[in-house]
């Protein structure tokens, strides 16, 4: 019998508090992928069934419930957030030429690139339909802005692929765009439909931004510490894709001339192999940059906790703290 991790227990605590809303959101998501064109529901079901923790809709539901939401709009927004996220995954897998997601073949491998892109577009359209149904122009503005920021972040990362001269601050901007933007927006829209005031909305935004940044940094570290299978990724995916993440950025900074020559050559290669990864991981271990990355993730995570503690004490607020803990201890 598989042992339940501390991380999973932290997430389970929060999901119990929003169980009813989570089930309603899941049903709504599945209803949205219906179409007379068989390939749309088949491909959509495949990517949705690959699972994941559904953290982004959980954030929307939790923030709304923490502020005592009195309508069902948070359900529609949570579903919209997940559909938007799922669309970006379909597009990302094509861009990254990924063959697997969470141990299963990606949609563009099972079908084709064109189908994955177009179904991603379909899911984006469905997401915006749900936003419109809430009749909240503010929510529509925030989530449409997030969609453009995410795309911008992905292009930013694409431009910086294989760039061994990228600096830490620039990389943090990339992950604030491609990951943290949807975390922060998911939190804010939950607050908006619950009548949050200006200060509360800013706090929700800052909470999500810090949490999303911490979450991505943990992912970056796990890609090099052998625990990436927990995320459904193959060890070294980022390395093989030419994505220079924080463990590598910090390692390059501390490298001697011979090591810097290695980084330059390996990221200029068209294809990197397992031997290259082994050497990269050796340098990263020597420079202790996984721990440095985790330390920075904890700074962002602790910032998120401090921000959420500004809200009135209740079970939902404590559940959101559990969610931060889940994000920070996934590497254990």
Q: How many CB atoms lie within 10 A of CB 321?
A: 16
The 3-state secondary structure of 211-273, one letter per residue: HHHHHHHHHHHHCCCCCHHHHCCCCCHHHHHCCCCHHHHHHHHHCCHHHHHHHHHHHHCCCCC
- Looking at residue 259, its pLDDT comes to 97
Q: Does residue 56 lie within any of the structural domains?
A: yes
- Encode pLDDT of 119-145 as tens digits: 999 999 999 999 999 999 999 999 999
Q: What are phi and psi of 101, to 5 degrees?
A: -135, 125
331 inside domain: no
* Strand ranges for the chain from DSSP E: 100-101, 104-105
pLDDT the model gives residue 97: 73
Nearest to 206 by CA among 187, 234, 220, 178: 187
- Whole domain around residue 216: which residue ranges? 6-321
CB atoms within 10 A of CB 191: 27
Average pLDDT, rounded, for the chain: 91
Tens-digit pLDDT profile for the chain (332 aa)?
Answer: 444 456 667 788 899 999 999 999 999 999 999 999 999 999 999 998 886 789 999 999 999 999 999 999 999 999 999 999 999 999 988 887 777 777 778 889 888 899 999 999 999 999 999 999 999 999 999 999 999 999 999 999 999 999 999 999 999 999 999 999 999 999 999 999 999 999 999 999 999 999 999 999 999 999 898 665 555 566 788 999 899 999 999 999 999 999 999 999 999 998 999 999 999 999 999 999 999 999 999 999 999 999 999 999 999 999 999 999 988 887 54
> On the CB side of 196, how many CA atoms lie within 13 Å of its CA?
26
Residue 1 lies in a domain: no
Q: From the CB of residue 95, how many other CB atoms can be counted at a distance below 10 Å?
A: 17
What is the predicted pLDDT for the residue at 5? Answer: 54
User: Does residue 332 sit in helix, strand or coil?
Assistant: coil
SS3 content of the chain, % helix, strand, coil (to 5): 75, 0, 25
Q: Is 289 a domain residue?
A: yes
Neighbours of 269 (CB within 10 A): 11
Does residue 332 sit within a domain?
Answer: no
Place of tokens 């949609």: 107
Number of domains in the chain: 1
In a domain, 327, yes or no: no
Sign of CA dihedral 99, 289, 296, 161: negative
8 Å CB contact between 90 and 110: no
Residue 238 C-alpha from the chain's centroid: 15
Domain-embedded: residue 32: yes
CATH number of 147's domain = 1.10.600.10
DSSP-derived secondary structure for 27-41? HHHHHHT--SSTHHH
Query: How many whole angstroms separate alpha carbon 210 and alpha carbon 326?
Result: 14
Alpha-carbon span 202 to 23, nearest angstrom: 28
Q: What per-residue confidence (pLDDT) applies to 332?
A: 46
Separation of alpha carbons 91 and 16, rounded Å: 32
CA 259, 262, 264: angle at the middle one, nearest 5? 110
Report pLDDT for 7.
Answer: 60
Question: Which pTM does this prediction carry?
Answer: 0.93
Q: What is the DSSP string of 111-128?
A: S-HHHHHHHHHHHHHHHH
CA angle 238, 239, 241 (to 5 degrees): 65
Report pLDDT for 230: 54
Question: What is the number of H-type helices and E-type strands within the chain?
Answer: 17, 2
Asked if the structure places residue 298 within a domain, the reply is yes
């Amino acid at each position: 019998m598989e042992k339940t991790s501390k991380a999973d227990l932290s997430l389970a605590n929060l999901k119990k508090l929003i169980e009813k809303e989570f089930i309603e959101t899941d049903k709504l998501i599945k209803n949205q992928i219906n179409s007379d064109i068989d390939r749309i529901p088949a491909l959509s079901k495949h990517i949705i069934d690959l699972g994941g923790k559904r953290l982004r809709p959980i954030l929307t539901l939790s923030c709304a419930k923490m502020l005592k939401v009195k309508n069902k709009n948070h359900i529609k927004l949570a579903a919209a957030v997940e559909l938007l996220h799922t669309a970006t995954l379909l597009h990302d897998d094509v861009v990254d030429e990924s063959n697997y997601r969470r141990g299963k073949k990606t949609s563009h491998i099972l079908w084709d690139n064109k189908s994955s892109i177009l179904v991603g577009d379909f899911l984006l359209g469905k997401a915006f339909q749900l936003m419109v149904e809430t009749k909240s122009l503010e929510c529509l503005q925030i989530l449409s802005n997030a969609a453009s920021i995410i795309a911008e972040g992905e292009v930013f990362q694409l431009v910086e692929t294989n760039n061994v001269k990228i600096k830490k601050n620039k990389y943090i901007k990339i992950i604030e765009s491609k990951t943290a933007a949807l975390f922060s927006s998911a939190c804010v829209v939950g607050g908006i439909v619950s009548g949050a005031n200006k200060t509360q909305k800013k706090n929700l935004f800052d909470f999500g931004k810090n949490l999303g940044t911490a979450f991505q940094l943990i992912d970056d570290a796990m890609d090099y510490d052998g625990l990436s299978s927990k995320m459904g990724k193959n060890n070294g995916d980022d390395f093989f894709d030419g994505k220079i993440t924080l463990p590598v950025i910090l390692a390059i900074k501390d490298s001697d001339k011979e090591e810097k020559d290695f980084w330059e050559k390996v990221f200029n290669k068209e294809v990197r192999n397992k031997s290259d990864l082994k050497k990269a991981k050796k340098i990263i271990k020597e420079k202790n940059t996984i721990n440095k990355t985790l330390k920075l993730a904890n700074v962002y995570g602790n910032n998120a906790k401090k921000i959420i503690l500004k809200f009135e004490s209740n079970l939902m607020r404590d559940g959101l703290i559990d969610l931060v803990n889940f994000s920070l201890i996934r590497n254990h």
